[in-house]
């Protein structure tokens, strides 16, 4: 039994189809990234999984509990942690009072350990919290009862870069400990750092589920080169080169700037361009946004 | 169990004490005014000059006895209207406020049923209900002794005890709006409007052909004047109010159980 099983999950809001017959599974111990542009339906799926709304058709199971079966779902939630996109708490309470309430309901065997990592000002009322502090409080409550499955909607939004790094390290530790994570994100750099596999949703439909390393391999590199001689697209034409753009450099010094995407082994590429009088050569991972545009963009709505 | 009732109850305690202090001070003032008021001549003529619906609205029977005076000045106004509105308003926030501000997601992610969550939070209204109904009668009783009048302690206890089902019914009306409407301010306005509207309806229909319609209002079943002037305790009315509370509460909980939180 996979910790997350989604079967033909469909959700309509009136005439708007927010999720259209989604099916996928998240395996035990996996960190699964749920990716898509804003408005694609990521939050809708998460809200249905968590039981905040019922599916229009199809269903999903968390830790074996059907989302349509309240009793079973409640039992499962003892072992589930949840962090919404913008967590909101009783603002008059202090962080400590809030965690005490959560602890009384679901347990808190890991509270102290988590508070060493994420440290919101516990004795101040939550209304005085910054966005980052609220997010940290949200993270602590999501993991404090040592859940088997954690569902998170954009978990690092509002965290400063240092905390994001800490969070990523923490998540890798959780992964090693066998926790299953289902998280949505639009930050692809984050996803590639922490996720094993991704599901891509676009306009309410699941476009693909794929291992992150395969996706990165397929997505290729983003190459930028500057040469002290006039070049055109034909000069770099070879298998795996796409979307070549050439810009003559500034002035009449004959400098050419060229960008393209390259899928394939990097050695033939280097051999190919070695003969040119290069000023600069950048080879970096393609931003996943572009990957999506290239692989899935054209299929959207088709 | 009862984590949410305890949490909410603690949160409501301070406000309840402030409210109880305010109502007790108001009650003390009324009691203090009583001797000079009752010494005036022609009070009853003065009362007769009021239009009938107003007399009904405030349950004015006799302003010359301490019981009748308190029933009109404190209980018909403070309990039937003010506290009725307060409990409807407070209950109207329970669900709609958290849904509107997206706090509900966090609560519903916990391993508790929706019925238990909202049921417990409704139960936490027991804190203000208890505090005002314990503090005020003590102040009123002491005040009445102080001005050398006398009031039947049992009647005083009864007028407070019988207000509990009435105020619960008002709260249940508020809770229904809180579940049905997803904006807090709309739910609050609807709850206030309904309870005040029911109060006006009951008063306006009294002594008309449509008086029977008043049976649909909670005010029909709680009459402080009957308790304090005649010593009549309407236990049947209290039962009706408790029944109505149970029905409204069950309806609200069932609706909330099936509701999509968006």
Indicate if the pLDDT at residue B151 is higher than 70. Answer: yes
Contact A52 B111 (CB under 8 A): no
Indicate if the pLDDT at residue A193 is higher than 50. Answer: yes
Note the pLDDT tens digit of each residue in A253-285.
Answer: 778 899 998 888 889 999 999 889 999 999 887
pLDDT for the residue A88: 95
pLDDT for the residue A300: 39
Indicate if the pLDDT at residue A62 is higher than 60. Answer: yes
Contact A93 B11 (CB under 8 A): yes
Distance between first and last Cα of chain B:
27
Q: Tell me how close the Cα of B104 comes to any Cα of chain A, in angstroms.
A: 8
A-chain residues near B111 (CB < 8 A): 74-75, 77-78, 105-106
d(CA B92, CA B197): 16
Q: Which backbone phi and psi does A58 adopt, to 5 degrees?
A: 70, -175
- Identify the closest residue of chain A to B112 by CA–CA distance: A74
Q: Tell me how close the Cα of B260 comes to any Cα of chain A, in angstroms.
A: 4
A-chain residues near B109 (CB < 8 A): 50, 77, 80, 82, 84
Q: Tell me how close the Cα of B118 comes to any Cα of chain A, in angstroms.
A: 14
Q: Is A258 helix (H, G, I), strand (E, B) or coil?
A: strand
pLDDT for the residue A163: 86
At A243, the pLDDT band (50, 70, 90 cuts) reads confident
* Beta bridge partners of residue A197, listed in sequence order: A32, A211
pLDDT for the residue A28: 96
CA angle, corner B205, sides to B223 and B71, nearest 5?
A: 25
pLDDT for the residue A251: 60
Interface test with A, best of B110, B255, B256, B260 (most A CBs within 10 A): B110
More confident position, A163 or A34: A34
**Given B11, B109, B260, which is nearest A82 (Cβ)?**
B109
Q: List the single range of A286-300, B59-73, B101-115 with lowest mean pLDDT.
A: A286-300
Contact A88 B4 (CB under 8 A): no
Question: Which whole number is the average pLDDT over A42-68?
Answer: 96
Indicate if the pLDDT at residue B98 is higher than 50. Answer: yes
- Identify the closest residue of chain A to B103 by CA–CA distance: A88
Indicate if the pLDDT at residue A102 is higher than 60. Answer: yes
Indicate if the pLDDT at residue A295 is higher than 70. Answer: no
**What percent of chain A lies above the pLDDT cut of 90?**
64
Q: Tell me how close the Cα of B171 comes to any Cα of chain A, in angstroms.
A: 21
Contact A80 B106 (CB under 8 A): no
Contact A106 B111 (CB under 8 A): yes
- Identify the closest residue of chain A to B110 by CA–CA distance: A77
Alpha-carbon distance values, A94 to A101, A121, B7, B186 (Å): 11, 9, 12, 28
Indicate if the pLDDT at residue A296 is higher than 80. Answer: no
pLDDT for the residue A9: 97
Question: Which whole number is the average pLDDT over A223-252?
Answer: 84
Q: Tell me how close the Cα of B179 comes to any Cα of chain A, in angstroms.
A: 14
Q: Are strands A4-13 and A16-26 parallel, antiparallel or unpaired?
A: antiparallel
Q: Tell me how close the Cα of A79 comes to any Cα of chain B, in angstroms.
A: 9
Contact B110 A102 (CB under 8 A): yes
**Given B7, B104, B111, which is nearest A77 (Cβ)?**
B111
A240 Cβ contact partners less than 8 Å away, ≥ 6 residues apart: A220, A262, A263, A264, A269
Question: Which whole number is the average pLDDT over A79-96?
Answer: 95
Note the pLDDT tens digit of each residue in A114-150.
Answer: 999 999 999 999 999 999 999 999 999 999 999 999 9
Question: Which whole number is the average pLDDT over A69-80?
Answer: 97
d(CA A85, CA B84): 38
A226 Cβ contact partners less than 8 Å away, ≥ 6 residues apart: A249, A255, A256, A257, A258, A278, A279, A280, A281
Contact A74 B261 (CB under 8 A): no
At A156, the pLDDT band (50, 70, 90 cuts) reads confident
- For residue A176 the two structure tokens come to 């090693």
At A301, the pLDDT band (50, 70, 90 cuts) reads very low
pLDDT for the residue A297: 61
pLDDT for the residue A31: 96
Contact A106 B110 (CB under 8 A): yes
Indicate if the pLDDT at residue A298 is higher than 60. Answer: no
Contact B105 A92 (CB under 8 A): no
Contact A53 B7 (CB under 8 A): no
pLDDT for the residue B257: 95
Alpha-carbon distance values, B11 to B16, B17, B102 (Å): 9, 11, 19
At A302, the pLDDT band (50, 70, 90 cuts) reads very low
Which residues of A have a CB under 8 Å from any CB of B? 13, 47, 50-54, 70-71, 74-75, 77-78, 80, 82, 84, 86-90, 92-93, 97, 101-102, 104-106, 138, 141
Question: Which whole number is the average pLDDT over B82-110?
Answer: 96
d(CA B59, CA B215): 16
At A252, the pLDDT band (50, 70, 90 cuts) reads low
Interface test with B, best of A72, A74, A143, A152 (most B CBs within 10 A): A74
pLDDT for the residue A219: 75
Contact A50 B105 (CB under 8 A): yes
Q: Mean pLDDT in chain A?
A: 90
d(CA A187, CA B77): 59
Q: Mean pLDDT in chain B?
A: 92
At A294, the pLDDT band (50, 70, 90 cuts) reads low
Q: List the single range of A221-225, A291-295, B20-24, B84-88 with lowest mean pLDDT.
A: A291-295
Interface test with B, best of A18, A43, A104 (most B CBs within 10 A): A104
Q: What per-residue string of b and e applies to A12-24 under the rule 16 or more CB within 10 Å gives b?
A: eeeeebbbbebeb
- Identify the closest residue of chain A to B94 by CA–CA distance: A90
pLDDT for the residue A213: 85
Indicate if the pLDDT at residue B206 is higher than 90. Answer: no
- B179 exposure class (CB count in 10 Å sphere: 0-12, 13-18, 19+): buried
Structure pTM? 0.87
**Given B102, B109, B261, which is nearest A53 (Cβ)?**
B261
pLDDT for the residue A59: 97
* Beta bridge partners of residue A200, listed in sequence order: A35, A208
Contact A52 B108 (CB under 8 A): yes
CA B135, chain centre distance (Å): 15
More confident position, B100 or B212: B100
Question: Which whole number is the average pLDDT over A20-47?
Answer: 94
d(CA A177, CA B89): 48
Question: Which whole number is the average pLDDT over B180-189?
Answer: 95
d(CA A22, CA A208): 10
Q: Are strands A16-26 and A31-35 parallel, antiparallel or unpaired?
A: unpaired
**Given B102, B111, B257, which is nearest A105 (Cβ)?**
B111
Give B 51-110 residues with CB within 8 A of chain A. 101-106, 108-110
Question: Which whole number is the average pLDDT over B114-125?
Answer: 97
Contact B106 A84 (CB under 8 A): yes
Question: Which whole number is the average pLDDT over A96-101?
Answer: 96
What ipTM, to 2 d.p.?
0.88
**Given A47, A74, A90, which is nearest B111 (Cβ)?**
A74
């Amino acid at each position: 039994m996979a910790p997350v099983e989604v079967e033909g999950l469909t959700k309509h809001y009136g005439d708007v189809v927010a999720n259209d017959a989604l099916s996928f599974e998240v395996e035990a111990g996996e960190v699964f990234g749920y990716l898509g542009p804003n408005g694609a339906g990521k939050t809708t799926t998460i809200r249905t999984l968590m039981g905040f709304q019922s599916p229009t058709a199809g269903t999903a199971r968390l830790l074996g509990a059907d989302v349509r079966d309240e009793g079973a779902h409640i039992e499962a939630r003892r072992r589930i942690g949840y962090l919404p996109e913008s967590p909101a708490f009783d603002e008059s309470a202090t962080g400590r009072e809030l965690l005490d309430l959560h602890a009384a309901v679901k347990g808190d065997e890991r509270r102290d350990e988590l508070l060493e990592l994420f440290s919101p000002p516990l004795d101040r009322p939550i209304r005085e919290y910054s966005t980052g502090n609220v997010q940290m409080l949200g993270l602590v409550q999501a993991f404090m009862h040592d859940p088997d499955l954690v569902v998170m909607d954009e978990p690092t939004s509002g965290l400063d870069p240092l905390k994001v790094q800490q969070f990523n390290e923490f998540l890798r530790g959780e992964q090693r400990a066998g926790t299953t994570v289902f998280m949505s994100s639009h930050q692809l750099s984050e996803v590639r750092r922490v996720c094993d596999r991704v599901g891509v949703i676009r306009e309410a439909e699941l476009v693909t589920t794929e291992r992150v390393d395969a996706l990165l391999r397929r997505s290729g590199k983003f190459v930028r080169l500057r040469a002290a001689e006039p070049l055109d697209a034909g000069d770099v034409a070879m298998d795996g080169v796409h979307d070549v753009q050439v810009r003559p450099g500034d002035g009449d010094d004959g400098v050419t700037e060229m960008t393209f995407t390259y899928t394939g082994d990097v050695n033939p590429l280097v051999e190919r361009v070695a003969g040119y009088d290069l000023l600069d050569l950048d080879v970096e991972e393609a931003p996943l946004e572009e990957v999506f545009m290239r692989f899935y963009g054209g299929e959207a709505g088709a | 169990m009862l984590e949410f009732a305890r949490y909410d109850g603690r949160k409501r305690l301070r406000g309840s004490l402030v409210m109880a202090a305010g109502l007790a001070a108001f009650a003390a003032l009324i009691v203090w005014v009583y001797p000079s008021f009752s010494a005036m001549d022609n009070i009853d003529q003065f009362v007769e000059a009021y239009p009938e619906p107003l007399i009904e609205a405030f349950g004015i029977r006799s302003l010359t006895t301490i019981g009748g005076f308190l029933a009109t000045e404190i209980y018909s106004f403070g309990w039937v209207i003010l506290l009725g509105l307060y409990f409807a308003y407070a209950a109207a926030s329970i669900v709609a406020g958290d849904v509107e501000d997206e706090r509900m997601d966090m609560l519903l992610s916990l391993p508790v049923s929706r019925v238990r969550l909202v049921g417990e939070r409704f139960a936490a209204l027991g804190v203000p209900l208890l505090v005002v109904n314990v503090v005020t009668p003590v102040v009123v009783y002491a005040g009445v002794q102080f001005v050398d009048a006398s009031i039947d302690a049992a009647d005083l206890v009864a007028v407070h005890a019988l207000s509990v089902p009435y105020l619960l019914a008002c709260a249940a009306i508020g809770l229904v709006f809180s579940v049905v409407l997803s904006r807090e301010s709309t739910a609050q306005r609807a709850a206030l409007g309904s309870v005040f509207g029911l109060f006006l309806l009951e008063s306006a229909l009294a002594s008309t052909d449509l008086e029977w319609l008043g049976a649909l209002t909670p005010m029909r079943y709680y009459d402080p004047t009957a308790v304090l002037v005649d010593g009549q305790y309407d236990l049947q009315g209290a039962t009706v109010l408790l029944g109505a509370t149970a029905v409204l509460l069950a309806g609200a909980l069932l609706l909330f159980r099936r509701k999509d939180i968006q």
